[in-house]
Amino acid sequence: MNSRSRSRDAALDASKGRCKKIVIISDGTGKTAKRLLDAVLAQYSQNRLDFSLVDIYHDIRDRKAFDRILQHLDSSYLVIFSIISEELSKYFHRSLAKKRILNINVLEPMLGVMSKFLGVHPEYRPGILQVMDDSYYKKVDAIGFTVEHDDGRGSLLGDADIVLVGLSRTCKTPISMYLACNFGVKVVNIPVLTYPQMEQNLLSRLTSVPKERIIGLMMQPDVLAKVREERSFYLANTPSSQSDIQDYYDVRVIRDELAFCRRLFSEQGWQTVDVTRRAIEEVAIEILAKIEYQTI
């Protein structure tokens, strides 16, 4: 090996020795500490910065788990931890100080100032932020799924938490979106068309869905007739076109359609909810209760 190669290898070894080693320890996922670390490191020039995030230890909630980690650390490390337990945080500080390991609990400064400002002590519950994140992303997924499966569209009916079936203008879409946005529920809604062939198509599509998840929506005929009549003005705004769709809001036709639905829902063992003159919020709560859904 020539002198130039030896010099290069020696420089690499020295560089490795100078590398700053960091570990993150968290009682949750470690995402809070990692985000803060990234924000702080962004303020330093990457050309001058030489560090390594060696590991992220998550769900560390007792002394034994921490002591196992501590065996592998020495004074060359920086330990960043996000531990909500006051007692456990103090133990971490003492143990790390004995080994001359630089450390910081990133939650302490904010908790201290916020407690003084609010005049209230925190609840000291670990993992709350992750629960909030999970709740948020579950709602986002539910909204996307529900939009894709609106008005009979979509093919992943087996993944639905709830399937709403009902006649046109029985509030299927508003109820679906309310459930998705507020409770993270994946909802499919399908219109009921009162033709034998369409009935078979509907039942065929629902074979992968347990009947306990299917809710039939009902409405009083005179109210549904009024809702459809108002809607028809937007669908057909000329006298001739109005006459073409008169059956759409004819109360006699609607009574027959509702009788069809009652028979279908009863035969299939599907639970029903009457939505007549009721708030979307009230209907949604009843639906969740009927299927015994555990909200997030």
- Taking the C-alpha atoms of residue 17 and residue 5, their distance in angstroms, rounded to an integer, is 18
Q: Are residues 98 and 146 in the same domain?
A: no
Q: Looking at residues 116-137, what average pLDDT do you find?
A: 63
Q: What is the pTM of this model?
A: 0.59
Domain presence at residue 296: no
List pLDDT tens digits, range 250-292.
Answer: 999 999 999 999 999 999 999 999 999 999 999 999 999 999 8
| Paired residues of 104 in beta bridges | 80
| Residue where one domain finishes, among candidates 75, 97, 126 | 126
Collect all residues with Cβ–Cβ distance below 8 Å to 14 and sequence separation of at least 6: none
Domain presence at residue 245: yes
Q: Is the pLDDT of residue 134 over 70?
A: no
In contact, 292 and 134? CB cutoff 8 Å: no
pLDDT value for 144: 93
Collect all residues with Cβ–Cβ distance below 8 Å to 143 and sequence separation of at least 6: 177, 180, 181
Q: Are residues 121 and 136 in the same domain?
A: no
Query: Which has the higher per-residue pLDDT, 59 or 46?
Result: 59
Q: Are residues 238 and 278 in the same domain?
A: yes
Q: Is the pLDDT of residue 135 over 60?
A: yes
Confidence of residue 57 (pLDDT cuts 50, 70, 90): very high
Query: Which has the higher per-residue pLDDT, 124 or 65?
Result: 65
Question: Which range among 83-97, 116-130, 174-188 shows the weakest confidence by mean pLDDT?
Answer: 116-130
| Residue where one domain finishes, among candidates 126, 159, 190 | 126
Q: Is the pLDDT of residue 12 over 60?
A: no
Per cent of the chain over pLDDT 90 is 57
Q: Are residues 142 and 119 in the same domain?
A: no
Q: Are residues 177 and 94 in the same domain?
A: no
- The number of angstroms, rounded, from the C-alpha of 201 to the middle of its chain's C-alpha atoms is 32
Q: Are residues 141 and 236 in the same domain?
A: yes
| Residue where one domain finishes, among candidates 93, 126, 159 | 126
Q: Are residues 269 and 239 in the same domain?
A: yes
| Residue 294 to residues 69, 89, 201, 289, Cα–Cα distance (Å) | 37, 34, 31, 9
Q: Looking at residues 170-192, what average pLDDT do you find?
A: 95
Q: Is the pLDDT of residue 122 over 90?
A: no
pLDDT value for 234: 74
Q: Report the b/e string of 128-162 with b at 16+ CB within 10 A.
A: eebeeeeeeebbeebbebbeebbebebeebeebbb
Determine phi and psi for 265, rounding to 5 degrees: -65, -40
Residue-number span of the structural domain to which 57 is assigned: 3-126
Q: Is the pLDDT of residue 46 over 80?
A: no
- The number of angstroms, rounded, from the C-alpha of 234 to the middle of its chain's C-alpha atoms is 36
Domain presence at residue 51: yes
Domain presence at residue 217: yes
Q: What is the dihedral of CA 179, 155, 217, 277, to 10 degrees?
A: 50
Q: Are residues 139 and 274 in the same domain?
A: yes
Q: Are residues 58 and 147 in the same domain?
A: no
Q: Is the pLDDT of residue 8 over 80?
A: no
Domain presence at residue 78: yes
List pLDDT tens digits, range 185-209.
Answer: 999 999 999 988 899 999 999 999 9
Q: Looking at residues 15-21, what average pLDDT do you find?
A: 65
Q: Is the pLDDT of residue 157 over 80?
A: yes
Q: Is the pLDDT of residue 4 over 60?
A: no
- What is the count of structural domains for the chain? 2
Q: Are residues 112 and 135 in the same domain?
A: no
List pLDDT tens digits, range 138-152.
Answer: 888 899 999 999 999
Domain presence at residue 295: no
Q: Are residues 136 and 212 in the same domain?
A: yes
CATH number at residue 53: 3.40.50
Q: Looking at residues 50-71, what average pLDDT do you find?
A: 90
Q: Are residues 122 and 9 in the same domain?
A: yes
Query: Which has the higher per-residue pLDDT, 3 or 275?
Result: 275
Domain presence at residue 113: yes
